[in-house]
A and B are shown apart, each in its own frame.
Chain A
Amino acid sequence: MSKLQQSLDAGHFTFTGEVGPPKGVDLTHVIEGAEAMKDKVAAINVTDIQTAVMRLGSLAVSAKLVERGMEPVFQMVCRDRNRLALQSDLLSAAVFGIENVLSITGDHIVKGDHREAKPVYDLDSVQLLKAMTTLEGGADMGKDFKGRPNKLEGAPKFFKGCVVTPCADFVEPQILKLEKKVAAGAQFCQTQAVYDPAAFETFMNEVRRRNITIPIMVGIVVVKGLGMAKYMNENVPGVVVPEAMMKELSETPKESAKAKAVEISARLIRAMKPMCQGAHIMPLGWDSLVPKIVDASA
C-alpha cells in the first residue's frame, strides 16, 4: 500500500506536492525539487505534459522518484494516448513500483506549444479510472476473438486518484462527474486550485451530502504574484482569486513574493483543513517553498 493511501486511510491530514518534468533530459532541477519537499509530503505528483507543453514524461520521472526512494503520484492525461498506450503505461507504472495514479482529462492542445498536433481523448478521465479498475481485476479493455475479456499475466494494483474543479462557475456537473469517478474506482481526489475557502466549504457540503466519501485534498497553487493571479482569473476556468487577495498581492513588494506565497498558501490550508482530508500543493517551480508551507499550515 502506498504511503499516500496509508496516510489518508489513517485519517491524517495529508500533504502532496508536485513537480513538473523538464523540457529535455536534464533531471537536476526536477529531482532537486522533489528532494526539497519529500520529507514533508506523503507523495509527489509528477505532471504529464502539463498544459500540452511537450516535456519529459510523467512515467519516466515517476520511476526516477521511486528509484530514489520517493513516492510519486503518476499523473495521466487522456489527451495524448489511446487506450492501448494508456493501459500499457499503467502496466509499465506498476512494474516500476508506481502505485498512485491520477486520472485527468488534460488541457486541450490549443493551450500548449504543439498546436498542430492531433488530440486523442480516446478515453475520458472516468473511462480511464474504469480501465485502471479493470486492469486491477486481471483483465484489459479488449476482448479475445470469442468476445471474452483478455486475461493479464499478473495484475497491477494502484491507488487511483481523480480531480475536480470545486470553484467552477457551474459546479453541479463537476459533482455529478465526481460521483461517476468514484463509481469507476477513484479512491482519492485532488482539486483544482482553490483561493476561496467559503466557496470550497459550499462545494464540500454538497459533496458530503451526496455521500461522496473518498478523501479530498484541496488544491493549493502557490501564487507567485499579482501578475499570475490576474492571469489565472482571466485564463484559467474554475480558478478565482478573490479581490481581497488581489489587493494583498498588489501591496506585496517583489522581494517578499516568496514569503507572501507561503503566508497565503498556509492561510488557505489552515482555513480549509477542517473541511477536507489533505492539501495538494502545486508550487509551479517554487519547490523549496513546499516544506515551509506545510510547516506554516500546522
Chain B
Amino acid sequence: MIIQKQKSLEEILKSLEGVQKVFLAGCADCATACKVGGTEELVEMKARLEAAGKTVTGTAVFDTACQQGAVRMKARENEAALAAADDIVCFACGTGSQTLQETLEKRTHPGAESMFVGQVHRLGKYSEKCATCGKCVLDRYEGICPVTRCAKGLLNGPCGGYKNGKCEVDPEKDCAWVLIYKEMEKRGKLDKMRKFEPAKDQSARHTPRAYVWPKRTPPPSQGAKS
C-alpha cells in the first residue's frame, strides 16, 4: 500500500492561508490503514482545524480517493458540504489529492505525505520492497529486489559498504546484496551472481507514467508492449 503520514497542522494551515471554509477528505484504503485519513483522524483533524479558526463544512472518507468513480459517488452524498467549502484538505496520498481536485474541480490541499509503496509489518511499522520500476527483476535475484532494497540500486553485486550484513547508508537496514547472495547460496543458484546484468531500461520509470488497456480489457497474458 501507499505508506503515508500526516502533515503537521502548521504545514496544513500554511497551505490554507486565506482559505476559511474547508471540507476534509480521507480514504478508506491505505490512508485509513496508516491512520492518516480514516474516520477517527478526520474527527480529530476537524477539531484541530476548528480550534485554529477554520470552518469545517463536512468530512468524508472516500472509498477510495484515487478512483474517480468512487470519488464522484461519495461527492454526491456530500454535495452540500462540498459546495459550502472553499477548498478540500485531503488526508490521503498525492494521487488521492489530485484525483479529488481534478474530479471535483475544487482546489485540494495535501494533508499527508505519501512516502512509498510499502509492506506493513504491523500497524506503525512499514518498509519499502518495490520501487514500481515497471520492469520487475525479482526473477533474477531470487525474489529480493536490489532496485529498491539496495540503497544504490546496484544490479551486479554489492558495493564495499556493507558491514555485518547491514548497509553503509543505515546500519538498521539489511544489505540487499548480502540477502540476495545468501538466498542464492541456500538455493544452489550462486551462478546467478556471476551473470552480467546490463544497464536497466529506465524508460519504464519515466514520469508521468500512464497505462491504458488497448481494448478496455486487460491485454492477453498481460503481454502488452510497455
- Per a CB cutoff under 8 Å, which of A107, A127, A165, A238 touches B156? A127
Number of interface residues of A (CB under 8 A): 38
How many Å from the CB of A123 to the closest CB on chain B?
5
| 7 additional A-B residue pairs with CB within 8 Å, beyond A105-B152, A127-B156, A174-B157 | A105-B160, A108-B168, A130-B198, A164-B160, A169-B162, A169-B164, A237-B162
Q: How far is the CA of A184 from the CA of B162 in the complex (A)?
A: 23
Annotate B144-174 by CB proximity to A: 1 below 8 A, 0 otherwise.
Answer: 0000000111111111111111001110000
Q: Judging by beta carbons under 8 Å apart, are B153 and A121 in contact?
A: yes
Say whether A107 contacts B199, CB under 8 Å: no
Contact with B along A117-160 (1 / 0, CB 8 A): 00101111111001100000000010000000000000000000
Say yes or no: A173 contacts B181, CB within 8 Å: yes
- Closest residue of chain B to A105, judged by CB? B159
For A237, list chain B residues within 8 Å (CB).
Answer: 160-163, 168
CA distance A108 to B153 in the complex (A): 11
A123 close to B199 (CB less than 8 A): yes
Which A residue sits closest to B146, measured CB to CB? Answer: A124
Which listed residue, B163, B177, B194, B196, touches A169 by the CB 8 Å rule?
A: B163
Q: A108-B152, A121-B153, A237-B168 are in contact. Are A127 and B160 (CB under 8 A)?
A: no
| Interface 0/1 of A167-188, CB less than 8 Å to B | 0111011101101100110000
Q: Which residues of B contact A (CB under 8 A)?
A: 151-165, 168-170, 177-178, 181, 190, 193-194, 196-200, 202
Name the prevailing secondary structure of the B interface residues: loop
Query: Which residues does chain B contribute within 8 Å of A177, judged by CB atoms?
Result: 156-158
User: Contact partner of B160 among A79, A126, A192, CB < 8 A?
Assistant: A192
Is the CB of A38 closer than 8 A to any CB of chain B?
Answer: no
Chain A contact residues, CB within 8 Å of chain B: 78-79, 83, 105-108, 110-111, 119, 121-127, 130-131, 141, 163-165, 168-170, 172-174, 176-177, 179-180, 183-184, 192, 237-238
Partner of B169, one of A110, A131, A173, A174: A110
Chain A, Cβ-Cβ closest to B155 = A124
Instruction: Report B152 CB to chain A, min CB distance, Å.
Output: 5
Given A107-B168, A176-B194, A237-B168, A168 and B152 touching (CB < 8 A)?
no
